[in-house]
Amino acid sequence: YIKTKFFRYLVGILKVSQNIYQNVYEFVPLQNFTQKSDIDWSKPIPIINKQLYKKYKLTKKEIEFIEDSIKSME
Q: What was the pLDDT predicted at 61?
A: 98
* pTM listed for this prediction: 0.87
Cα distances (angstroms) measured from residue 43 to each of 4, 53, 55, 56, 69: 12, 15, 15, 18, 22
pLDDT tens for residues 7-60? 999 999 988 677 677 788 999 999 999 999 999 999 999 999 999 999 999 999
Q: What was the pLDDT predicted at 18?
A: 74
